[in-house]
């Protein structure tokens, strides 16, 4: 027997949905059901974070260019802690390819510091 | 009263509180030993002993459960310096003494345990330059306050420190008198008798004052409570900046040959044959002929190290609220609300203008056990509002900051300034609480007079009393600003948006005579982070400039001295740990 | 190159965040524009590295820097005179004095667009008692420290305030390896969007404690812990519910305040509820030729709405600068039942308008009623203070001296 609780994020109502023995309860509309099924089957998230920059103190913002399974996010963060980007970069440049196969791309363009 | 009489008197009181108290009196200094059940009882005994007539000092060694023991740090064994005079403590008093002594051909070293000057009692001072009207008649602190006040204008001019004679109202309202007398009588006393007494006292001390009727007061200060009956106006009341003054005093002393050692804590005082030989510090030994004890809250502990203890410091906390500059013009002069009888809890304070343009309310007063207790409690915040709201009932509650300071009070509640009779060359400058800021220049003169009796002091011919004013960008005209930026573009970069502090000013502070090497030290010098956003925008920028200029890795920048790291490490440092 | 000195500009936009960028771009279609930014372009978006921006305008979820860069690139191409690292010191009438490392700029302009954004409420403004050690940061500062400057503010963190910034920081700190002990919220409902509660807190099992606040701060040099307590209905701490939490970092996400020091200097009338300028539907303030947009007017939930407001302000400032703008200030909008505020507060009453409003309290199954010359009603399944309500109203309802908006069941 399993019981899980979700809050649907599709609209401001925020239905509290309970899943008990494969029965989905509490959703006010169809989208809630779809949301819960997706979350139960394979919850994935876009990862947004930063990486170091070679020779500079400031950070480069990056994101995964696809969704990553939720449980792999922490590993991915640890992996990225070792990455150092080289400037200049353009928004969208691939900075790193993670072990899960997902690319990490820059979310802003950055020139070398002129100072 | 002689020693014997004093002892008997105290023994009688002590018996009621605890059976385990031993009293010894020596040259009018009371030594209390033994045990009580609580800090409150310890305090009560000290205060009662201090109130007895003719008592000069109270050393309260009574133990109670949970009493903090003094822990002495390890001292350095190497000799690191020598001087004629060592001043312990770089608060406003220590620095004023150093500057006064730097007028003479004499070697002076100031020793300070913190990373900057003005970090103890001085920092949290309320910035008022008192006239002396509020002090108890005949006390040393009143005399030095009146004298100090007269020296301020010139001192601040020489040192280029802000000083304004902002004036002060002592307001009497319907609620000023809490005696149980009919209201017509209370009104009469408030309107006629009290102003007369204040005026007469002012005349005696040479303090100009005038009585102002309700109508005139309300015309001059339309935001004051309509319950006001009458006010006494004191036009010479002033305000300054306690830390800017202290920094300037120290810088000027250094310019004139004095030395300062920061981050250096005194752990022992060297005495041989009842004569001062020097001090042992965390950095090493400094040989000296004279030691001036201006250690503020720790003056008793320093005196103990010298074997010359004649007082115990009992810390008294005071909390103050600071309001948004937007309401800086709400009143034209500082003001206080007179309340009689004076209770222990309410000891003056008021609604004060500041040289920075903010209005502040406070301070409160409360005994605390811990000398480092600078917390502000919810009760204190409430108390401040309830103390001064009756004076300005509609003042907007736009608080931008609050702080507490701890007063270094002795049980006799007066300044304790004299050469020790027990240890030759040890000079007490203890018990300096309000009006210590005002009195500081007079205290310095007094200390020089004491020293003069011991050693010949020869005036320097090349003493320079002036200190160059640091650049304050926000005070410059547009034309002056243009010139400054042309000379150095860093003066064009605004770092603190609330107070318009530029990168140039921050760099100046970091590389100053007394380098500002942490965020708060920079803040005190430049006001970066003192505005309404309270540093939320400029903190990262100031930290970066400090890191770059002083060569400190960003993640190691301190807020306020040892142990106050702003950041725990570089980004991702916690991911590597796991 | 020394580029300071006296100069003229058709329009000066103060602030280069999303509002200022949008305003500059639109205004540049009419006349020459100077954009003054004290930091770098993009404003606070550059530190908001998470995604969720631009769903409305771009139809996809962008990160803050990505959203900003779209506009920055266009602004550069549009020939706008962009001055970064330049802070406005004072404004008198239409004369602006600004300071940068290039020198002092004295600019004479025809129209001004205010887009200075907002700032965070600090620990002192909400009167949290205690000591003043290192380790206490507003959420935005912490966000900048981690995401831009590359330093960690703490190891074990307590967050006060469950607005979106607080929620974002809970997730961000967790991802960076810190332990977020919990998020504490004085109100009985979370302050941020539900999506953020789920994706920032639930995803990482971070507890949210409603009806709680921080009542004491401990630690001398570095934060050693905080005391939290439950609050009653009057939001006062309940005695006996205090709990000490050892931590080395306290993050405050306790509200944003529009930054209107310059607006006040100009003499722009400020709405005491939004704490921003009173504007009409063309984003003109009470001072002719001075427009305002974005978080300086009122704190928005979505950057897309900020951009839209910026475009309106920019367009009308442009028209004003070239003399094609007629100032009409006719009707007033009244915030009625369960409405905390409405923007715009003043109506010209000549065109359709999107009204932005915030409700006082959460309500389910309500009607939003706009009553002017005619009455207009719209139903909502739920309204929350945390979520701005947007409602498009036709001009024919508005041609009245007073329009009132109520939200009732």
pLDDT in tens, B286-321: 999 999 999 999 999 999 999 999 999 999 999 999
Same domain, B366 and B273: no
Domain range summary for chain C, segments of one domain joined by + = 1-118+256-327, 122-254, 329-409
The overall average pLDDT reported for chain B is 95
> What CATH number does residue B431 fall under?
3.50.50.60
- Degrees to nearest 5, angle at CA C81 with C79 and C85: 135
Distance CA B441, CA B155 (A): 8
Q: Looking at residue A114, what is its pLDDT?
A: 61
pLDDT in tens, A62-106: 999 999 999 999 999 999 999 999 999 999 999 999 988 899 999
- Among the partner residues C122, C144, C146, nearest to B533 by beta-carbon distance: C122
Name every chain C residue with its beta carbon within 8 A of the beta carbon of B574: 152, 155, 176-178
Closest residue in chain B to residue C100, using alpha carbons only: B492
B118, HSE (Cβ side, Cα atoms, 13 Å) = 28
Number of domains in chain B: 4
CA distance C41 to chain B (A): 16
pLDDT in tens, C259-296: 999 999 999 999 999 999 999 999 999 999 999 999 99
- Dihedral class, residue B157 (left if φ above 0, else alpha if ψ from -120 to 50, else beta): alpha
Q: Is-contact B101 B448, C-beta < 8 A?
A: yes
**Contact call for B578 and A78, based on CB within 8 A:** yes
**Contact call for A58 and C148, based on CB within 8 A:** yes
B27 touches C: beta carbon within 8 Å: no
Same domain, B308 and B254: yes
Same domain, B342 and B483: no
**Contact call for B381 and C125, based on CB within 8 A:** no
- Dihedral class, residue C343 (left if φ above 0, else alpha if ψ from -120 to 50, else beta): beta
- Among the partner residues A57, A59, A78, nearest to B575 by beta-carbon distance: A78
Same domain, B337 and B349: yes
Distance CA B81, CA C302 (A): 63
Distance CA B322, CA B397 (A): 10
CA distance A108 to chain C (A): 6
Same domain, B387 and B321: yes
Ranges of H-type helices in C369-409: 395-398
C280, HSE (Cβ side, Cα atoms, 13 Å) = 25
Distance CA B208, CA B195 (A): 13
- The full DSSP string for B328-367 is TTS-SSEEEE--BSPPSS----EEEE-TTS-EEEE---EE
Domains C1-118+256-327 and C122-254 share a fold: yes
Find, among B334, B500, B360, the residue nearest to C265 by Cα.
B500
- The confidence band for C1, taking pLDDT boundaries of 50, 70 and 90, is very low
**Contact call for A7 and C61, based on CB within 8 A:** no
pLDDT in tens, A4-42: 888 888 877 788 899 988 888 888 888 888 899 888 888
Q: Which two tokens stand for residue B71?
A: 């822990």
Q: Looking at residue C4, what is its pLDDT?
A: 65
Provide the domain limits for residue B280.
79-123+242-312+412-452
B460 touches A: beta carbon within 8 Å: no
Residue B459 lies in a domain: no
Same domain, B23 and B85: no
Residue B104 lies in a domain: yes
Name every chain C residue with its beta carbon within 8 A of the beta carbon of A77: 175-177
The yes or no reply on domain C122-254 and CATH 3.30.160.20 is no
Give phi and psi for B336, each to the nearest 5.
Answer: -135, 160
Choose the catalytic residue: B130, B149, B314, B428.
Answer: B130
Q: How much of chain C, in percent, has pLDDT values that exceed 90?
A: 89
In a 10 Å sphere around its CB, with 0-12 CB exposed, 13-18 middle and 19+ buried, how is residue C106 labelled? Answer: middle
Q: Is-contact B294 B426, C-beta < 8 A?
A: no
CA distance B518 to chain A (A): 19
Q: What is the largest CA-CA distance in chain B?
A: 77
CATH class, domain C1-118+256-327, is alpha beta
Distance CA B102, CA B459 (A): 9
Residue B65 lies in a domain: no
Residue B149 lies in a domain: no
Chains that touch A (3 or more CB pairs under 8 A): B, C
Same domain, B289 and B374: no
> What CATH number does residue B14 fall under?
3.30.1340
Q: Looking at residue A13, what is its pLDDT?
A: 78
Give phi and psi for B232, each to the nearest 5.
Answer: -110, 125
Name every chain A residue with its beta carbon within 8 A of the beta carbon of C61: 46
Q: Looking at residue B180, what is its pLDDT?
A: 82
**Contact call for A59 and C177, based on CB within 8 A:** no
> What CATH number does residue B385 fall under?
3.30.9.10
Name every chain B residue with its beta carbon within 8 A of the beta carbon of A50: 571
CA distance C387 to chain A (A): 8
pLDDT in tens, B390-428: 999 999 999 999 999 999 999 999 999 999 999 999 999
Q: Which of B192-201, C328-337, C359-368 has the lowest mean pLDDT?
A: C328-337
Q: Which of C40, C147, C153, C380 to mutate to test the interface with A (most CBs of A within 10 A)?
A: C147
Same domain, B488 and B558: yes
- The confidence band for C3, taking pLDDT boundaries of 50, 70 and 90, is low
- The confidence band for B334, taking pLDDT boundaries of 50, 70 and 90, is very high
Q: Which of B404, B534, B557, B563 to mutate to test the interface with C (most CBs of C within 10 A)?
A: B534
Domains identified in chain A and CATH numbers: 3-42 (no CATH), 48-106 (3.10.530.10)
Same domain, B231 and B350: yes
**Contact call for C151 and B555, based on CB within 8 A:** yes
CA distance B572 to chain A (A): 6
CA distance C53 to chain B (A): 23
- Among the partner residues B493, B559, B561, nearest to C85 by beta-carbon distance: B493
Q: Which DSSP category does B491 fall into?
A: G
pLDDT in tens, B541-560: 999 999 999 999 999 999 99
Name every chain A residue with its beta carbon within 8 A of the beta carbon of C64: 61
Residue C409 vs residue B161, higher pLDDT: B161
Same domain, B489 and B570: yes
Q: How many residues are given for chain A?
A: 115
Same domain, B187 and B262: no
Distance CA C230, CA B128 (A): 40
Q: Which of B187-191, B346-350, C230-234 has the lowest mean pLDDT?
A: B346-350
The answer on pLDDT for A61 being more than 90 is yes
Find, among B125, B229, B219, B127, the residue nearest to B170 by Cα.
B229
**Contact call for C194 and A7, based on CB within 8 A:** yes
**Contact call for C63 and A57, based on CB within 8 A:** no
Name every chain A residue with its beta carbon within 8 A of the beta carbon of B572: 52, 81
Residue B147 lies in a domain: no
Closest residue in chain B to residue A52, using alpha carbons only: B571
Q: Which DSSP category does A27 fall into?
A: -
Q: Looking at residue B182, what is its pLDDT?
A: 85
Q: Which two tokens stand for residue B407?
A: 């007063």
Task: Kindly provide the b/e burial profile for residues C12-26, where b requires at least 16 CB atoms within 10 angstroms of the residue's own CB.
Answer: bbbbbbbbbbbbbbb
Residue B70 lies in a domain: no
The answer on pLDDT for A1 being more than 70 is no
Task: Kindly provide the b/e burial profile for residues C52-79, where b requires at least 16 CB atoms within 10 angstroms of the residue's own CB.
Answer: bbbeebeeebbbbbbbbbbbbeebeeee
Q: Which of C14, C118, C129, C270 to mutate to test the interface with B (most CBs of B within 10 A)?
A: C129
Annotation says B394 is catalytic: no
pLDDT in tens, B215-237: 999 999 999 999 999 999 999 99
Q: Which of B543, B569, B571, B576 to mutate to test the interface with A (most CBs of A within 10 A)?
A: B571
Chain C, window 22-61: residues with a beta carbon less than 8 angstroms from a chain B beta carbon: 38
Closest residue in chain B to residue A60, using alpha carbons only: B571
Closest residue in chain C to residue B370, using alpha carbons only: C220
Q: Is-contact C125 C25, C-beta < 8 A?
A: no
Q: Looking at residue B1, what is its pLDDT?
A: 83
ipTM (interface predicted TM): 0.96
Helix axes B519-526, B503-510, angle to 10 degrees: 120
Closest residue in chain A to residue C365, using alpha carbons only: A13
Same domain, B44 and B186: no
The answer on pLDDT for B164 being more than 90 is yes
Chain C, window 184-223: residues with a beta carbon less than 8 angstroms from a chain B beta carbon: 215-217, 220-222
The 3-state DSSP class for residue B267 equals strand
Chains that touch C (3 or more CB pairs under 8 A): A, B
Q: Looking at residue C2, what is its pLDDT?
A: 44
**What's the topology of domain C329-409?**
Immunoglobulin-like (2.60.40)
Q: Which of B65-74, B117-126, C26-35 has the highest mean pLDDT?
A: C26-35
- The confidence band for A113, taking pLDDT boundaries of 50, 70 and 90, is confident
Q: Read off the pLDDT of each residue in B122-130 and give the average, rounded to a whole number.
A: 93
Domain end, chosen from B12, B27, B60, is at B60
Distance CA A80, CA C46 (A): 20
- The confidence band for B57, taking pLDDT boundaries of 50, 70 and 90, is very high
CA B268 to the chain's CA centroid: 24
**Contact call for C51 and A63, based on CB within 8 A:** yes
Q: Looking at residue B577, what is its pLDDT?
A: 65
- Among the partner residues B375, B492, B571, nearest to C129 by beta-carbon distance: B375
Q: Read off the pLDDT of each residue in B381-393 and give the average, rounded to a whole number.
A: 94
**Contact call for B492 and C102, based on CB within 8 A:** yes
Q: Which two tokens stand for residue C13?
A: 């936009």
Closest residue in chain C to residue A74, using alpha carbons only: C175
Q: How much of chain B, in percent, has pLDDT values that exceed 70?
A: 99
Q: Looking at residue C32, what is its pLDDT?
A: 97
Q: Which of A26-35, B25-34, B526-535, C205-214 has the lowest mean pLDDT?
A: A26-35
Find, among C366, C386, C389, C385, the residue nearest to C377 by Cα.
C366
C5 contact partners, CB below 8 Å, separation of at least 6: C103, C104, C105, C106
Beta strands B57-60; A94-97: pairing state: unpaired
**Contact call for B575 and A77, based on CB within 8 A:** yes
A7 touches B: beta carbon within 8 Å: no
Residue B156 lies in a domain: no
Name every chain C residue with its beta carbon within 8 A of the beta carbon of A75: none
Residue B248 lies in a domain: yes
Find, among B486, B482, B489, B481, the residue nearest to B507 by Cα.
B489
**Contact call for C175 and A49, based on CB within 8 A:** yes
């Amino acid at each position: 027997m399993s019981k899980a609780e979700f809050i649907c994020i599709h609209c401001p109502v925020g239905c509290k949905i309970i899943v008990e023995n494969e029965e989905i309860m509490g959703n006010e509309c169809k989208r809630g059901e779809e949301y819960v099924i997706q979350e139960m089957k394979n919850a994935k998230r876009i990862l947004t974070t930063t990486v170091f920059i070679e020779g500079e103190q400031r950070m480069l913002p990056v994101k995964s260019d696809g969704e990553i399974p939720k449980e792999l996010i922490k590993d991915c963060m640890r992996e990225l802690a070792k990455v150092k980007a080289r400037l200049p970069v353009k928004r969208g440049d691939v900075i790193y390819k993670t072990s899960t196969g997902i690319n990490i791309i820059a979310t802003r363009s950055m020139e070398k510091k002129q100072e | 009263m002689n020693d014997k009489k004093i002892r008997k008197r105290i023994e009688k009181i002590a018996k009621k509180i605890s059976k385990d108290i031993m009293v010894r009196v020596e040259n009018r200094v009371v030594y209390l030993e033994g045990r009580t059940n609580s800090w409150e009882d310890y305090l009560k005994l000290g205060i009662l002993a201090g109130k007895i007539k003719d008592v000069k000092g109270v050393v309260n060694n009574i133990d109670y459960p949970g009493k903090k023991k003094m822990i002495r740090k390890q001292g350095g064994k190497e000799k690191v310096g020598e001087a004629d005079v060592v001043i312990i403590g770089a608060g406003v008093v220590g620095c004023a003494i150093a500057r006064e002594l730097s007028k003479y051909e004499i070697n002076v070293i100031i020793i300070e345990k913190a990373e900057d000057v003005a970090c103890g009692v001085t920092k949290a001072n309320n910035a008022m330059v008192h006239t002396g009207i509020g002090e108890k008649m005949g006390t040393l602190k009143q005399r030095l306050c009146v004298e100090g006040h007269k020296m301020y204008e010139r001192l601040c001019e020489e040192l280029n420190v802000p000083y304004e004679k902002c004036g002060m109202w002592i307001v009497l309202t319907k609620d000023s008198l809490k005696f149980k007398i009919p209201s017509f009588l209370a009104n009469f006393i408030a309107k006629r008798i009290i102003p007369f007494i204040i005026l007469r006292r002012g005349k005696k001390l040479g303090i100009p004052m005038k009585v102002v009727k309700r109508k005139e007061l309300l015309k001059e200060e339309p935001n004051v409570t309509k319950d006001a009956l009458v006010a006494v106006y004191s036009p010479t009341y002033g305000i300054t900046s306690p830390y800017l003054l202290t920094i300037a005093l120290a810088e000027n002393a250094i310019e004139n040959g004095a030395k300062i050692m920061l981050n250096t804590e005194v752990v022992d005082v060297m005495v041989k044959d009842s004569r001062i030989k020097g001090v042992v510090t965390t950095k090493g030994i400094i040989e000296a002929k004279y030691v001036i004890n201006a250690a503020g809250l720790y003056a008793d502990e320093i005196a103990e190290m010298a074997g010359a203890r004649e007082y115990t410091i009992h810390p008294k906390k005071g909390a103050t609220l600071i309001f948004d500059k937007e309401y800086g013009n709400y009143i034209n002069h500082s003001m206080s609300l007179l309340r009689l009888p004076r209770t222990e809890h309410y000891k003056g304070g008021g609604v004060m203008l500041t040289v920075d343009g903010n209005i502040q309310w406070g301070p409160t007063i409360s005994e605390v056990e811990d000398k480092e207790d600078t917390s502000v409690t919810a009760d204190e915040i409430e108390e401040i509002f309830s103390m001064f709201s009756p004076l300005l009932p509609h003042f907007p509650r736009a608080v931008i900051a609050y702080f507490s300071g701890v007063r270094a009070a002795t049980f006799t509640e007066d300044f304790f300034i004299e050469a020790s009779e027990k240890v030759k060359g040890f000079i007490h400058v203890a018990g300096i609480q309000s009006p210590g800021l005002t009195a500081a220049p007079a205290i310095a003169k007094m200390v020089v007079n004491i020293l003069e009796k011991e050693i010949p002091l020869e005036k320097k011919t090349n003493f320079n009393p002036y200190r160059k004013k640091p650049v304050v960008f926000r005070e410059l005209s547009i034309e002056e600003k243009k010139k400054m930026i042309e000379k150095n573009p860093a003066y064009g970069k605004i770092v603190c948006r609330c107070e318009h502090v530029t990168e140039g000013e921050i760099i100046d502070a970091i590389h100053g005579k007394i380098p500002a090497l942490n965020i708060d030290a920079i803040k005190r010098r430049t006001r970066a982070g003192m505005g309404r956003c309270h540093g939320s925008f400029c903190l990262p920028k100031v930290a970066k400039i400090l890191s770059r200029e002083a060569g400190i890795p960003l993640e190691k920048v301190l807020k306020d001295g040892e142990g106050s790291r702003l950041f725990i490490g570089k980004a991702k440092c916690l991911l590597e740990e796991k | 190159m020394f580029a300071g000195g006296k100069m003229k500009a058709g329009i000066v936009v103060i602030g280069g965040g999303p509002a200022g960028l949008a305003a500059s771009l639109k205004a540049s279609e009419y006349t020459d524009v100077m954009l003054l930014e004290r930091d770098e372009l993009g404003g606070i978006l550059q530190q908001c590295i998470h995604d969720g921006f631009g769903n409305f305008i771009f139809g996809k979820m962008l990160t803050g820097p990505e959203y900003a860069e779209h506009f920055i690139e266009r602004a550069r191409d549009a020939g706008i005179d962009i001055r970064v690292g330049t802070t406005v010191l004072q404004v008198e009438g239409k004369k602006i004095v600004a300071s940068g490392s290039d020198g002092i700029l004295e600019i004479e302009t025809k129209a001004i667009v205010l887009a200075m954004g907002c700032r965070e409420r600090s620990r002192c403004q909400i009167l949290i008692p205690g000591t003043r050690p290192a380790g206490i940061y507003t959420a935005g500062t912490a966000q900048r420290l981690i995401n831009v400057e590359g330093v960690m503010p703490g190891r074990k963190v307590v967050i006060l305030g469950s607005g979106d910034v607080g929620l974002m920081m809970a997730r961000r700190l967790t991802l960076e390896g810190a332990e977020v002990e919990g998020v504490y919220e004085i109100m009985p409902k979370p302050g941020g969007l539900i999506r953020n509660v789920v994706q920032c807190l639930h995803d990482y099992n971070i507890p949210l404690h409603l009806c709680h606040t921080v009542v004491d701060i401990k630690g001398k040099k570095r934060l050693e812990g905080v005391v939290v307590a439950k609050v009653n209905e009057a939001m006062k701490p309940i005695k006996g519910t205090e709990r000490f939490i050892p931590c080395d970092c306290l993050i405050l996400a306790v509200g944003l305040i529009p930054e209107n020091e310059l607006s006040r200097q100009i003499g722009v009338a400020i709405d005491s509820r939004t704490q921003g300028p009173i504007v009409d539907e063309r984003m003109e303030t009470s001072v002719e030729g001075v427009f305002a947009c974005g978080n300086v007017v009122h704190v928005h939930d979505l950057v897309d709405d900020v951009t839209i407001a910026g475009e309106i302000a920019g367009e009308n400032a442009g028209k004003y600068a070239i003399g094609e703008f007629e100032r009409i200030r006719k009707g007033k909008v009244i915030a009625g039942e369960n409405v905390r505020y409405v923007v715009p507060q003043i109506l010209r009453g000549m065109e359709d308008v999107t009204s932005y409003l915030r409700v006082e309290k959460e309500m389910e199954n309500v009607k939003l009623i706009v009553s002017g010359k005619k009455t207009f009603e719209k139903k909502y399944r739920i309204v929350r203070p945390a979520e701005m309500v947007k409602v498009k109203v036709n001009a024919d309802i508005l041609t009245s001296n007073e329009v009132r908006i109520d939200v009732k069941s």
